[in-house]
Amino acid sequence: MIYTITLNPALDRTLWVSEIKEDVSNRIIREESYPGGKGIDVSKVLTALGVPNRALGFIAGFAGRQLEAQLTRDGTDCSFIPVSGETRTNVVIHELGSGRQIILNSAGPEVKPFELLEISDLVRKIEEPEFVSIGGSLPPRAHPEVYRKIIETAKLRRAKVVLDVDREALLVGIRGKPDVIKPNIHELSALVGKRLEKRGEILEAAREINRRGVGIVLVSMGPRGILLVSEGKAYQAVPPEVEVVNTIGAGDSSVAGFIYGLVAGRDLKEALIWATAAGTATTLRQGTALATREDVERIVPQVRLETISED
């Protein structure tokens, strides 16, 4: 089974208005709410690709129940731990007249230290974990060591662990030696404390992370695709040029595409191609909508793979 972990999930609420005027009541033309958060995005794309998976994490209040109900309705199994407070709602307002997008992000509920421990207890008990994919921000005031503990617990269960987090959480998390991380260039650059511009510099930084015990480093580079660096092997997969609608969730979709490839028994190169195609497929969708299976399958043969080294 594949498990995803989102410690601070969100309900992403999108509102469409024709124009925002101050001090009057503005009419909402359309509104939608979807479950969000990086691990949950991975679950949604895995489900779209036909891979059974289960979403874990913390939910709270009415928004949390709604998030769980929608995920379940759309085909993703859930085992969330309920906590007090209210799951955050992130709001995106589309102003149709101007094309402006206003994004309001909330911090989410605090999760108490003893509740944070419950997630490792849950990981200790999950059945036959093949992959555990961890993503997104921490609840307010939670210490990044939580990620390291989850990773170590999942590895004791012999799961392959994928970590997609940033800043302090990434720095501390990799001490737990996840099998795969998927930083973008800014995240990798912050991790090694160097500016990374040329491909050679990015490769060297990724190799440094390999030496710190992370088997596979996937560096996503937007339209330039993804670099995979693992010991002596290095490949770059480059997506076709597409008309990008919205890149929200592209990186999370790449994580799902990579897991999909490996679960389907493909080699690293093919999994990398699927990762790249899944990210690009998400850029074709509006707002927070993610890749469809149809788009991913159509893009896969259009991804170009370059072998940089293979010893």
Ligand X SMILES: Nc1ncnc2c1ncn2[C@@H]1O[C@H](COP(=O)(O)OP(=O)(O)OP(=O)(O)O)[C@@H](O)[C@H]1O
# binding residues, ligand X (CB under 6 A) = 20
DSSP state of 184: B
* Residue 261 touching ligand X (CB under 6 A): no
CA dihedral 25, 31, 37, 38 (to 10 degrees): -120
- Which of 86, 82, 81, 72 is closest to 35 using CA atoms? 72
88 contacts 106 by C-beta, under 8 angstroms: yes
* For ligand X, the closer CB: 53 or 280: 280
Nearest-approach distance from CB 232 to Mg ion, in angstroms: 26
The entry of Mg ion, ligand X, none near residue 33 (CB within 5 to 8 angstroms by kind) is none
Binding ligand X (rule: CB under 6 A), the pick from 279, 291, 295, 300 is 279
Site for ligand X in 220-249 (CB under 6 A): 220-223, 225-226, 239, 242, 244, 247, 249
* Residue 280 touching ligand X (CB under 6 A): yes
Nearest-approach distance from CB 182 to Mg ion, in angstroms: 7
- Which of 260, 265, 6, 235 is closest to 139 using CA atoms? 6
> Which of the ranges 19-27, 124-132, 250-258, 287-295 carries the binding residues for ligand X, by CB under 6 A?
250-258
- The span from the CA of 147 to the CA of 44, in Å, is 22
- The span from the CA of 182 to the CA of 257, in Å, is 12
* Residue 289 touching ligand X (CB under 6 A): no
- Residue environment code for 189-215, b if the CB has 16+ CB neighbours within 10 A, otherwise e: bbbbeeebeeeebbbebbebbbeeebb
Residues 165-204: x/- map of binding to ligand X (CB under 6 A)?
A: -------------------x--------------------
Name the active-site residue from 164, 252, 295, 311.
252
Is residue 295 among the annotated active site residues? no
- The span from the CA of 199 to the CA of 258, in Å, is 21
Residues serving a catalytic function are 252
Residues that bind ligand X (CB under 6 A): 184, 220-223, 225-226, 239, 242, 244, 247, 249-252, 254, 276, 279-280, 283
